[in-house]
Amino acid sequence: MKKYFTAFGKELRRNSQLRTGFIMLAVLLIGAIGAPVFATHDPYFLYDSLRVAPGTDGFIFGTDHLGRDIYSQILYGARTSLEIGIVAASIAAVVGTLIGGIAGFFGGAVDKVIVEFINIFVMTPSFFLILIIVAIFGSDIRYVMIVLGLTSWPGNARLMRAQAISLRERTFVKAAQAMGESKSKILFRHIIPNGIFPIIANTTMQISGAILTEAGLSFLGLGDPNIISWGQMISAGKQYLTKSPWISAIPGVFVVLTVLTFFMIGEGLNKFISPKMQNTK
């Protein structure tokens, strides 16, 4: 394990894309975790005399149509975006890894059934499926995270299946089978741990996808109304775009930066994991 951390440290110093991504992620995490400290105002408080006010000394990013401080909302909105992105991508990683690992390792009829099941999910328009489920069960943040996770696992399943098909023919797996280890132990001790690295890189990119999807749901009015969301902020400011563009533009910029952050980390991890990409810039 130590050699992997050493190699990762070298890659972090060499790969500027990966390094920049982690620096941006650190800034986002510090802002989100320290929101109560860094926020200059209560994000829910309505300053009636300062509606749609541009940035001033007291309000760095100005106020929205209800007189709420946009800067403070950005900090608390970062919490929402990161929480949804990380939890949803983690659910997709766990489900996809288990399903793909079982399909690739056991093979045969099990593999055929699971592959067809994966294909059904791939062909289904996930965003419209999310819209239907949210409309039926509600827009609570917990439902949103679970739905996003359970509709984005097929990519991880395909990756893990390919890894499992390759790993099951390796000498150490054959040796474990010859020693009488059960298939479940081989799957969880040898197959999944050795095939998890591409899943980690893909999951990092899925975080950005979950953040974008949640922002889209909130923009359409299907997000959780009890939390602060960048998508809601963008939607609230759309009618003021011509006169007060900062209301929508500022949260929009942070959505783009956050998605770019996880994309850079995912691409950097891909280059670190895949030998074929080591020499690409």
pLDDT, tens digit (0-9, with 9 covering 90-100), for 60-99: 888 888 888 999 999 999 999 999 999 999 999 999 999 9
Q: Are 227 and 32 in contact (CB under 8 A)?
A: no
Query: What CATH number does the domain containing 33 carry?
Result: 1.10.3720.10
- What is the pLDDT at residue 28? 93
- What is the pLDDT at residue 276? 47
How far apart CA 59 and CA 120 sit, in angstroms, is 49
**Residue 281 scores a pLDDT above 50:** no
- What is the pLDDT at residue 280? 45
Non-local (6+) Cβ contacts of 211 within 8 A are 81, 82, 84, 85, 255, 258, 259, 262
- What is the pLDDT at residue 2? 58
- What is the pLDDT at residue 129? 80
In a domain, 148, yes or no: yes
Can you state the angle between helices 2-14 and 246-273, rounded to 10 degrees? Answer: 130
Residue 259 belongs to what domain range? Answer: 14-47+57-277
Going by the DSSP 8-state scheme, the letter that residue 221 receives in this structure is T
How far apart CA 96 and CA 102 sit, in angstroms, is 10
Rounded to 5 degrees, φ, ψ at 107 are: 60, -160
In a domain, 41, yes or no: yes
In a domain, 37, yes or no: yes
Ranges of H-type helices in the chain = 2-14, 16-33, 35-38, 70-106, 108-123, 126-137, 141-150, 154-167, 171-178, 183-186, 192-195, 197-219, 230-237, 246-273
Percent of the chain, pLDDT > 90? 35
- Count structural domains, the chain: 1
pTM recorded for the entire structure:
0.86
Task: Report helix, strand or coil for 47.
Answer: coil
In a domain, 3, yes or no: no
In a domain, 7, yes or no: no
Residue 227 half-sphere exposure, CB side, CA atoms within 13 Å?
23
How far apart CA 125 and CA 161 sit, in angstroms, is 22
In a domain, 161, yes or no: yes
Percent of the chain, pLDDT > 70? 94
Rounded to 5 degrees, φ, ψ at 207 are: -60, -45
Mean pLDDT for the stretch of residues 111-135:
85
In a domain, 248, yes or no: yes
